[in-house]
């Protein structure tokens, strides 16, 4: 399969291969390692170690680079948003991505153990926030603002005024 035209590129100090394998294990299914390149004697990394690793999550390709320590890190200005089919998938991904040093954030946001920001969003969110009752939408937004992990039932109840 040819590489996609626009691809997310993630800079790691030296955990690119570990992170790629971790993400593939979290998302499973049609997620996989696509290929990798290794440092040579003339490159700044350790000869033979992974320089870049390309991986797919749910059909979307990403490349991770072992670029060495720099004066920057991942932050919330960029996040990967995942549309989940139901609350079970929200719960599963939330638990996996916050494990081993990940951090829960507000409104469906979290950081994984590598510091990468994710939005774990149930597909029902668009239906609820796009509903025809402005007062219901306002209640649902207020409920969402008080949540960490998003709760579909809680959002619906807020929308419906329960």
How far is CA 130 from its chain centroid? Answer: 23
CA distance 48 to 12: 17
Residue among 139, 143, 145 nearest 154 (CA): 143
Which pTM value belongs to this model?
A: 0.90
Same domain for 58 and 108, yes or no, is no
Same domain for 86 and 161, yes or no, is yes
Domain count, the chain: 2
Output the CA–CA distances (angstroms, integers) from residue 70 to 102, 109, 127, in the order listed. Answer: 21, 25, 42
Same domain for 47 and 63, yes or no, is yes
CA distance 105 to 13: 24
How much of the chain is in helix, strand and coil states, percent to nearest 5?
35, 25, 40
**Contact call for residues 115 and 105 (beta carbons, < 8 A):** no
Same domain for 108 and 162, yes or no, is yes
Same domain for 60 and 77, yes or no, is no
Same domain for 63 and 128, yes or no, is no
- For the domain that residue 132 is a member of, what is the CATH number? 3.10.180.10
pLDDT in tens, the chain (162 residues): 456 889 999 999 999 999 999 999 999 999 999 999 999 887 777 788 899 999 999 999 999 999 988 888 898 899 999 999 999 999 999 999 999 999 999 999 999 999 999 999 999 999 999 989 999 999 999 999 999 999 999 999 999 999
Angle at alpha carbon of residue 88, lines to 120 and 123, rounded to 5°? 50
Same domain for 47 and 12, yes or no, is yes
Same domain for 23 and 8, yes or no, is yes
Q: Are strands 109-111 and 117-122 parallel, antiparallel or unpaired?
A: antiparallel
Structural domain of residue 52, as residue ranges?
Answer: 1-69
């Amino acid at each position: 399969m040819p590489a996609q035209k626009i691809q997310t590129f993630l800079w790691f100090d030296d955990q690119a291969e570990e992170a790629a394998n971790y993400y593939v294990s979290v998302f499973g299914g049609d997620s996989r390692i696509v290929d990798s390149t290794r440092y040579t004697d003339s490159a700044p990394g350790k000869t033979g170690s992974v320089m870049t690793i390309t991986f797919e999550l749910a059909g979307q390709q990403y490349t991770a680079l072992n670029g060495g320590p720099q004066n920057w890190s991942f932050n919330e200005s960029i996040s990967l948003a995942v549309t989940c089919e139901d609350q079970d998938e929200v719960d599963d991904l939330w638990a996996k991505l916050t494990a081993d040093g990940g951090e829960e954030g507000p409104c469906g946001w979290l950081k994984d153990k590598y510091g990468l920001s994710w939005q774990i969003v149930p597909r029902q969110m668009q239906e609820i926030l796009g509903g025809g009752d402005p007062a219901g939408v306002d209640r649902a937004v207020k409920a969402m603002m008080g949540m960490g992990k998003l709760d579909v039932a809680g959002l619906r109840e807020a929308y419906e005024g329960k």
